[in-house]
Amino acid sequence: MIVCCMICASMFGVGFHSMSIIFLAPPVSFKCPNNATCCDHPVYNKTIFSRTIVTEWNLICGYSWMKEFTQIMFQLGALIGSLIFGIASDRFGRRPTMIFVVVLQLFAGITSSFLPGYWSFAISRLVLGSSVGGIIVVGYVIVLEFAGSEYRITTSALFHIPFGLGILILAVLGYFLTDYLHLQLAISLPCALLLFYVCLLPESPRWLLAVNKTMEAISLMERIAKINNQPTEGIERQVQIYHMEHLRVSDRRESAMDIIRCSYMRLNIFISSFIWFTCSCCFYGAEYYVRQISEDIHIIVVASGTACVCGCLIAIPLIKLMNRVSLILICNVISSACLLINCVIPEGVEYIVIGCIEILLSFTVFVVIYLYCAELFPTTVRSSALGISSTMISIGAIIAPYIVSLKTYGSWCVPIIFAILSLISAALCLMLPETKGRELTTTVEEEKNKYRK
């Protein structure tokens, strides 16, 4: 439980950096001399924000696309990071990969606070995004593998709560720190504390067993048992029996390519990836759209963070009560219904409320699909599978603003597109197997044997 709490704290930084662009590049009004439409020396309204990347580098008129480009770079980095560090975690271990991504986040976050030029800042956002993608994937796998089967549901849901709390804290920091450099530094420095205790993190016993480092796994489990005041006498014997029964079927080093080689695992990764994509599109799309029609971005950020926390808390009893597939199906159907309602009501308070409900539902599906995807794949390729499928979060986040821009063709266009995506996800999830109550498998061969049964 101590390890799980340590790793869960890393999600505060994920919440900070994922949503920080809202306050780094907020909408800023400006005037030009001689009543010109655009100019080289505009006068910005600094009533709310004293300095942003928009005012710092004049990202207006023909350069306004550069403001959105910084977030695209961040999401592209998250895509790359979740894929690369997910595979690296299966290859080199959970602990060294986690330490590396935390160091990377600390370095990129602090460095971006002092960079003088736009392009260097954009590149730092790419690096920062890669660290965030790595922390999400590797951190979640560590939490899942350390938690006992009876605590798996609770810990997997609680893992995401600091993300929502991080968004709430960001709203407060964004209110008081009106200079983007001060804000960037404030959300980056706490990572130094995270680095301190992540270095104390032990390796995952499941991973050690999966790569045939049996004696290291036994030694680690004995230390953990002593800390928890549990007997240690039978651990070595139990591990040897487990090794004989579960790992003798695999005589080679398994990798992410095994996911592609196995037909049913290939289907599972495709469908789960599409569900991740839909969740991301709906979550970021709803947040982006609601933010555009609201006058106070601080209130909207607070509402988004609250919706995320509520989504996690709601997910815990629902996951215990319902099957994984059924829960994903129902949340997607209700989400579609909310989106269709938004097609016929005018933009206003009711629209924003339903948008926040959509954010809550999308985040609830996020919580469930993280757990479900981790249960769906064995230990030897679990991080790789999560890394591959979670890259769709970044793709969805990149595409969502462009879908929102289609509102120029009609206010009904945006919710219709998101509703269709949710309905397709609901239909596809029926093709996936149920994993509730199933023990985590260790190797691809073991997973194949279970599938054949």
Q: 412-422 burial by CB neighbour count: b if 16+ within 10 A, else e?
A: ebbbbbbbebb
Distances (CA, A) of 302 to 4, 291, 298, 400, 406: 26, 11, 6, 20, 26
β 30-31/43-44 pair status: antiparallel
Give residue 107's pLDDT. Answer: 95
Cα distances (Å, whole numbers) of residue 179 to 54, 73, 237, 300: 11, 21, 59, 20
Our measurement of the distance from residue 215's CA atom to the centroid of its chain's CA atoms, rounded to an integer in Å, reads 34
Tell me the average pLDDT across 53-80. Answer: 90
Partnered with residue 51 across adjacent β-strands are: 179
3-state secondary structure of 93: coil
Nearest to 450 by CA among 304, 189, 438, 2: 438
In 343-443, alpha helices (H):
349-376, 379-404, 413-428
177-196 average pLDDT score: 92
Stated length of the chain: 453
The mean pLDDT value of the chain amounts to: 86
Token pair 């899942």: residue:
144
107 class by beta-carbon count within 10 Å (0-12 exposed, 13-18 middle, 19+ buried): middle
Phi and psi, residue 30, nearest 5°: -150, 165
33: enclosing H helix or E strand: none
For residue 200, the SS3 value is coil
Q: Tell me if residue 304 falls in helix, strand or coil.
A: helix
- Its pTM stands at 0.88
Greatest CA separation for the chain: 84
Within 10 angstroms of residue 379's Cβ, the number of other Cβ atoms is: 27
Q: Per-residue pLDDT tens for 384-416?
A: 888 888 888 889 999 988 888 888 888 788 889
Sign, CA dihedral 282-76-82-6, equals: negative
| pLDDT above 90 coverage of the chain, percent | 40
- Is pLDDT of 199 > 60? yes
Average pLDDT over residues 79-97: 92
The residues pairing with 31 across neighbouring beta strands, listed in sequence order, are 43
Query: By percentage, how much of the chain surpasses pLDDT 70?
Result: 93
Report d(CA 264, CA 84) in Å as an integer: 23
Q: What is the mean pLDDT of residues 173-190?
A: 94
Q: For residues 112 and 106, is the Cβ–Cβ distance under 8 A? A: no
**Which range has the worst mean pLDDT, 125-129, 190-194, 228-232, 432-436?**
228-232
Domains of the chain (ranges; CATH) run 8-208 (1.20.1250.20), 254-453 (1.20.1250.20)
When comparing pLDDT for 326 and 34, which is higher? 326
Q: Confidence band (pLDDT; 50, 70, 90) for 442? A: confident
